[in-house]
Amino acid sequence: MALDLSGVILAIIIGTLAAIVYSLRILVLLERRIARVDVNIERIASRIMKEEEKISKEEKKIERMLKKKKK
C-alpha cells in the first residue's frame, strides 16, 4: 500500500512539527539552565561584595590602629 502525494506531504508536515516541538523543548530546558547559572552568579557576586566590605572594614580598623601607634 503506497502513500499518495497528500500522504507524503502530511507525513512531512507532521515530522516538521514534531521537530519544532522537540527543538522548543530543548530551548526551554537550556533557558532554565541559563537562569540557574545566572542565579548562582548573582549569589557568588553577593558573597564577594560582602567579603570585600569585611576586608575594607578590617583595613580601616588596621589603619586607625597604626595611626594611634604613630601618635
Q: What is the DSSP string of the chain?
A: ----HHHHHHHHHHHHHHHHHHHHHHHHHHHHHHHHHHHHHHHHHHHHHHHHHHHHHHHHHHHHHHHHHH-
Q: How far apart are CA 14 and CA 42, in angstroms?
A: 42
Answering whether pTM is above 0.85, one says no
- Whose cell is 514534531? That residue is 18
User: pLDDT value at position 67?
Assistant: 85
Q: Residue 13 pLDDT > 90, yes or no?
A: yes
Q: Residue 26 pLDDT > 80, yes or no?
A: yes
Q: Residue 14 pLDDT > 60, yes or no?
A: yes
- Give the type of residue at 23: S
Query: How many domains, in total, are found in the chain?
Result: 1
Report, as an integer, the average pLDDT of 14-31: 98
Q: Which range of residues forms the domain containing residue 61?
A: 1-71
